[in-house]
Amino acid sequence: MIFCRHCGKEIHEQASSCPQCGGVQPPFVSATAIPGEGDSLWMAITSLVLSIVFTLTLLEDAEHDKDALIGMGVFLIASLALGVISLAGKKAGKGMAIAGVVLSSFSLLALLGSL
């Protein structure tokens, strides 16, 4: 429920005008249309997990062939993007999103350096 801009009565959120006073309501942007806390948190967690996995893989002494490095690069970019999207959205999981972005960037640079 939202409140009428004109009389303050509680009205349905999708009502285009107020049944109480007839006042026209501004277009209502549904909260569910924007990525919610859950989505943001999910992206932050995915970003963090992916970046940790690939950072650890990169830090191993094992030699990685070029195909494997390119594959990791793709996932790291995805992880970086998820972290950035998560940060641009709501505050849920912000710390994890920042860690994901930092780790992904670090790994990506290390990866580029080893190509």
Position among 21, 34, 59, 109 found at the interface with Zn ion (CB under 5 A): 21
Q: How far is the CB of 32 from Zn ion (least distance, A)?
A: 24
Q: Which residues pair with 81 in a beta bridge?
A: none
The string over 74-104, giving b where at least 16 C-beta atoms fall within 10 Å of a residue's C-beta and e elsewhere, is ebbeebbebbbbbbebbebbeebbbbbbebb
Shortest Cβ 5–Zn ion spacing (Å) = 7
* Residue 35 within binding range of Zn ion, rule CB under 5 A: no
Which residues are bridge partners to 24 per DSSP? 17
Output 11 or 44, the one with its CB closest to Zn ion.
Answer: 11
Q: Which two tokens stand for residue 84?
A: 């950035």
d(CA 45, CA 76): 14
Q: Is 23 in the site for Zn ion (CB under 5 A)?
A: yes
18 or 43: whose CB is closer to Zn ion? 18
| Residues of the shown chain interacting with Zn ion in the complex, contacts defined by CB under 5 A | 4, 6-7, 18, 20-21, 23
